[in-house]
Structure 1
Amino acid sequence: MLEFEFSSHGAGMIHAYRWEPEGQPRGVVQIIHGIAEYVPRYAGFAAFLNAHGLLVTGEDHMGHGKSHGTEPCHFSGGWCAAVDDSMELLRRTQRDYPGVPYFVLGHSMGSFLTRTLLFRYPDAGLRAAVICGTGWQPAPVLAAGLALCGLEKLRLGETGRSKLLANLMFGAYNRKFPDARTPNDWICSDPEVVAKYTADPLCGQDATIGLTREMLRGIRMIQRPANLQRMDKALPVFFIAGRSDPVGNMGRGVEKAATAFRAAGMQDVTCKLYDGRHEILNEKNRHTVYDDVLAFYERHLG
């Protein structure tokens, strides 16, 4: 694994990674990770893709993983600055591998960042995109969340951390599982994955009030019909999620997002739900998901 850094479009330095296959790569997959986690958690998935000739890259977002120079779990400069950091890595990798088919996979918050990237940079040169663990939020829910962020910012500041906000967002996810033993059971049905996540100091931190606000703004942005219309209509998109993923409202929000893409004129949109919770790339049936993602990329290598 190669590690390197570049300046963020928001603040500090972005730490990035690259896993290279043997020989010339058949394609590139850029992973865009979720909130309160980091790219090396996808090392097993990267090794699988490497074995099939695909190079894998990704960056720890501002305030995440090994990226440094800003408040933990915070986006200095806002949502679009974080999107532009992902776009910066995309451009750098395309320069290093000109002409090689380029794919993305965005998970959770990374799915929302990816959906933003798709309409902000429709000419990014992507061959296909996988949207993993995404969702769709009703406008009144977003408005209420943003109003609460404003009140909590007055009380605690931009980089303060609000237990109220955290409980309303992630606590609500965990309440879907009455037998939950930890605050993180919503992420995966495999207790070993949950235990490892819970014990990891780089996972599960409370987001700042600023990051929570920016994510809600980002979700509102990607759901606007005018922005959906800006995407490359020919780009193949594959939505994947767990049937028991509360982020996607147990699949209903995922299907609504896919429907919105089709309504915006996207010509090749597929959606598949799997047994499992939020992190389907870490569920016990993950190799079925791996195989489906690989097959999707391989259909679009030519």
Structure 2
Amino acid sequence: MTIEEGTHTLPDGTQLYTKTWKVGLSSASNRGKGPDGTTKAVLAFVHGFSDHCNAYYELFPNLASSGIEVRAFDQRGWGRTVKRPKDRGNAGGTALVLSDIHSFLLGVSPPPKTPLFLMGHSMGGGEVLNYVLHPDSPYTTSNTRPQLAGVMVYSPLIGLDPATRPWAITVFLGRLVARIIPRAQRHSPLDTKLVCRDETVVADYIADELCHDMGTWEQLVGMLDRGLWLENLQSGDLTEGKLLPMWLGHGDADRITSWAATKKLSGVLGVKGDVTFVSYEGGYHRVHMDPGEVRVRFVKDVTDWVLKKAEGTEAAAE
């Protein structure tokens, strides 16, 4: 495996920090790769709230070791993309968020005949679902769009768990403030006890200065509105045969985003398309780093689904 850092320049000149985990040379016996380290699939990844692409531990290296190249970036307002403190959390509204994802994906050039998948975690999972499902998304409206073979999300922000869901009056007042001072920052920390069952992961999260817990009113309201749109989505709103293959995973002990909302949406999408829902017993929000069997199973589930869909894509192309 080799790792490369870089930048992606957005249409307005903003430079996103990017990182790529490339498939390295390996023996022919390694599953998912040829004797020359052939890349079987490329996975573009979108991180969550108060997070960044370097905070996913061994998830991306493990995927790369199985033949899945990972392309990730720090979103506008987050991680190493931020150059000034006043830019923390300043990701813009939904139109800008989805436009940034679209631009990044158009800049991803997989090797010939290598399928491209899109994955998102938490806030990024909600963004990914809005990107491929919302009628106003550039994926839907643009004449130029990435050729995606499938979509994966886990612990997606569809609905917030009742333990962390804000009062309705708080959301109402937030919308008013967002209209007046959209770029004003608001410190919105997550309850660190709910992040992961691995205490080392929690300690790392608390100590990580790039996980700054800062959003703007515009960003926070947009994030909640994207989730609300997904919560209200019905199968009748979808066009049969137009949905990409989808995989949705969620730990049933997640108290940040709602497991029940993810399961419900999986059922709605499953009426019209190829949808897989996987529940992780006892899993917290960062299920990819939950201790023991959950962590191992999560990586295997993601790897198996991508490689299976990649093989199907290759067969169809031939």
TM-score of the superposed pair, with normalisation by structure 2: 0.78
The 3-state SS of whatever aligns with 2:56 is helix
Alpha-carbon offset, residue 229 of structure 1: 1.4
The structure-2 alpha-carbon separation of the partners of 1:110 and 1:154, relative to structure 1 and needing over 3 Å to count, comes to closer
Aligned to 1:261: 269
Alpha-carbon offset, residue 7 of structure 1: 2.5
Aligned to 1:179: none
Contact 1:9 1:84 in 2 (8 A): no
Contact 1:106 1:113 in 2 (8 A): yes
Alpha-carbon offset, residue 9 of structure 1: 4.8
Contact 1:188 1:194 in 2 (8 A): yes
For the aligned residues, what is the CA RMSD? 2.7
1:293 aligns with 2:295: no
Where does structure 1 lack aligned partners over 5 or more consecutive residues? 171-182
- Greater per-residue helix proportion: 1
State the percentage of identical aligned residues: 19
Matched residue pairs, number? 280
Alpha-carbon offset, residue 64 of structure 1: 0.6
TM-score of the superposed pair, with normalisation by structure 1: 0.82
1:108-158 CA-partner distances (Å, limit 9, x unpaired)? 0000110011123266322122110024439x9797554221344478x32
Show the 5 A alignment for 1:178-193. Answer: 183-193=191-201
Show the 5 A alignment for 1:102-251. Answer: 102-119=116-133, 120=137, 121=139, 124-137=146-159, 144=169, 146-153=171-178, 157-162=181-186, 166=188, 170=190, 183-225=191-233, 229=238, 233-249=242-258, 251=259
Partner Cα separation in structure 1 for residue 196 and residue 241 of structure 2: 33
Aligned to 1:174: none
Partner Cα separation in structure 2 for residue 18 and residue 97 of structure 1: 14
Where does structure 2 lack aligned partners over 5 or more consecutive residues? 25-36, 312-318
Aligned to 1:173: none
Partner Cα separation in structure 2 for residue 159 and residue 205 of structure 1: 15
Aligned to 2:44: 30
Partner Cα separation in structure 1 for residue 156 and residue 10 of structure 2: 25
Contact 2:42 2:110 in 1 (8 A): no
Partner Cα separation in structure 2 for residue 79 and residue 212 of structure 1: 10
1:175-224 CA-partner distances (Å, limit 9, x unpaired)? xxxxxxxx411110111100100000001422121210111222233445
